Amino acid sequence: MERKNTFNFGYFLVAFLVIIGFQMWFTSRDVAQISYSDMINYIEKGQVQSVSISDNTIQGQFKDAINGKDYFVTYRVPQELAVDFDKYKVDVTGVPDHTLLTKILSWVLPIIIFFAIWAWFFRKFAEKQGMGLGGMMNVGKSKAKIYVERKTGVTFDDVAGANEAKTELKEVVSFLTERDKFGRLGARIPKGLLLVGPPGTGKTLIAKAVAGEADVTFFSISGSEFVEMFVGVGAARVRDLFKQAREMAPCIIFIDELDALGRARNSFGGGGNDEKEQTLNQLLVELDGFDPSAGIVILAATNRPEVLDPALTRAGRFDRQVVMDRPDREGRAAILSVHMKKVKLADAVNADEVAALTPGFSGADLANLVNEAAIFATRRDGEFVTMEDFTLAVERIVAGSERRGRLLNPDERERVAFHEMGHALAAAALPKTDPVHKISIIPRSIGALGYTMQRPTEDRFLITAGELRDRMVVLLAGRAAEDIVYGEISTGASDDLARVTDIARQYVMSFGMDPEIGQAALEQQRMQYLDGAPGMGKPKDYSDVTAREVDLAVRKMIDAAYERAKTLLSERRKDLDAGAKILLEKETITPDDFPPLVQQPLAQTRVLS
């Protein structure tokens, strides 16, 4: 891993000439070169104040400047001095003649100091510009951070909730430690493995765990570090990285955020894309050019697999895709158990119960949840972290922190209470919805004026058409409650309407559940781990007539759900009024405080924004 530094003699020569010129200018600025006889004449005229005599020269100072010069120098004649300095009251000192070493140091030492200062400034400038420690002289070198097992400090025991991914990656560890075993029957290990999944699911962590288990060198680099302002630098860094890897095999190369480097190429030439495409082309060449039997395995991570170039993901390059998805309830409980070891827990805290509150949470979210719960416990000066602290932490992450200083007027506060109680009563009345966990009318930092939290009894992977329609009813029940009580609606249901519309459009266009539109997928489903990624939707390939029918079907579904919600709440008007009254008194209630909310079976939150 030794880097070669390039020394540019041109810079040194320029610095040397600058210093020589500076010294010559400084010497000649106020020093007169005079003859020996002229010096004697000046002394006899009383114009010399002092002299310094060496073996070869005499240097002196005038009493008053002569011709703009304060000092003079002359070569000493090889004889006794022909002037009586005492007679003319001239101070005389002796100066030993400089040795050859002293003369050399008088020139070389300032040059070395000047060059060191220049190199220091240049290095700082290079680091500030993001060109690494080597600056411009090392722009083509790989910036891979190298870890070995003792530095990663991570094994598979530290990675919880990803059993399927660990099973696949254990084969990589076996290959690196027992290469002969895999070659016995002619099998070859995949050249590259692509870790895909949403942010925060532990892709980087499990890559470090592979290196820790195999006890091999771990090259870690981000895809964005390959590309810089200089054309050709990225390709050079790819070559350098693989060269270093071959020298240190067996090893693991880990490229984080591969989409920054491997985005699909387009047919448009020129522009800023040339550098990225050259870098990607070089990576493709390197993937084809190395022999996996040498003990080099490439791992890459991305949360945007849909934008990768097909040439990068074809067989023979990144042969396998290992999915690191959000953990299920069992996985969340395992992850929570790992993080809960770092805090002091009350005996009543159960990781499985906390996991039930957190469907859809990633590993990073769960780590943050444990930390937030510990902060809540510290804030109230508690000795242990309790289940209530975890509940408050879930609420803070899902709905934001409480804003008790945001005062609502009595009319608005009452409207929010009826709105949230409408959500809760609809959820309690419909058999295919999740049970209500908590209702609150305390404003939150994300702009919510209140929320209703529901808690599922188990993770769900399939949703029926009836369940989707029931969810729409629950979402619209807040506005329906306002309509029933006040005879008019407010802007408080904006978030509810957005979510209802999204469900209705997927019901019609993606799932093919509407009988009038038919079983046609008008909107393509893609493996996408980042919400709202632009430009990845399927272009419209249906007629304007079909588009109109879709709009009508969506409107019809929403109107039907709204009428169901109004009918349901009209039948339970007494519960609606009683529940809103209790909610206004306590601000936050659970089904224990209001029995009509008890029914069946995280936390989906109805946000009033």
Give, in order, the Cα–Cα distances in Å from 322 to each of 167, 170, 481, 604, 605: 10, 12, 47, 28, 31
Token output for 154: 């991570």
Question: Is 203 annotated as belonging to a binding site?
Answer: yes
Token output for 424: 């809760």
Measured CA to CA, the distance from residue 130 to residue 13 in angstroms comes to: 28
Question: Is 98 annotated as belonging to a binding site?
Answer: no
Closest C-alpha among 155, 525, 165 to residue 323: 165
Residue where the block lists tokens 């992850």? 335
Measured CA to CA, the distance from residue 478 to residue 455 in angstroms comes to: 18
The Cβ of residue 18 has, within 10 Å, a number of other Cβ atoms equal to 12
- Helix 465-486 vs helix 410-429: angle between axes, to the nearest 10 degrees? 150
Measured CA to CA, the distance from residue 218 to residue 207 in angstroms comes to: 9
Which residues 6+ apart lie within 8 Å of 260 measured at CB? Answer: 222, 223, 224, 227
β-strand partners of 78: none
Measured CA to CA, the distance from residue 375 to residue 501 in angstroms comes to: 37
Which residues 6+ apart lie within 8 Å of 228 measured at CB? Answer: 130, 131, 139, 234
Measured CA to CA, the distance from residue 329 to residue 351 in angstroms comes to: 10
Closest C-alpha among 456, 201, 207, 462 to residue 326: 201
Q: Please, are residues 72 and 90 in contact by the beta-carbon 8 Å criterion?
A: no
ω into 250 cis (within 30 of 0): yes
Token output for 174: 């076996």
Amino acid at 77: V
Question: Is 423 annotated as belonging to a binding site?
Answer: yes
420 is catalytic: yes
Question: Is 201 annotated as belonging to a binding site?
Answer: yes
Name the active-site residue from 420, 458, 516, 587: 420
Token output for 114: 């000047």
Measured CA to CA, the distance from residue 193 to residue 204 in angstroms comes to: 13
Closest C-alpha among 212, 288, 207 to residue 255: 207
Q: What residue ranges in 68-171 does DSSP mark as E strands?
A: 69-75, 91-94, 145-147
Burial level of 408, CB count in 10 A (0-12/13-18/19+)? Answer: middle
CA angle (582 as vertex; 577, 587 as ends), nearest 5: 125
Question: Is 419 annotated as belonging to a binding site?
Answer: yes
Q: Is 71 left (phi over 0), alpha (psi -120 to 50) or beta?
A: beta
Which residues 6+ apart lie within 8 Å of 151 measured at CB? Answer: none
Q: Is 535 left (phi over 0), alpha (psi -120 to 50) or beta?
A: left
Question: Is 339 annotated as belonging to a binding site?
Answer: no
Q: Please, are residues 543 and 537 in contact by the beta-carbon 8 Å criterion?
A: no
Give, in order, the Cα–Cα distances in Å from 66 to each of 32, 42, 63, 74, 357: 9, 10, 9, 15, 95
Question: Is 197 annotated as belonging to a binding site?
Answer: yes
Question: Is 325 annotated as belonging to a binding site?
Answer: no
Question: Is 199 annotated as belonging to a binding site?
Answer: yes
Residues designated catalytic: 420
Binding-site residue set for ATP: 197-204
Binding-site residue set: 197-204, 419, 423, 496
Binding-site residue set for Zn(2+): 419, 423, 496
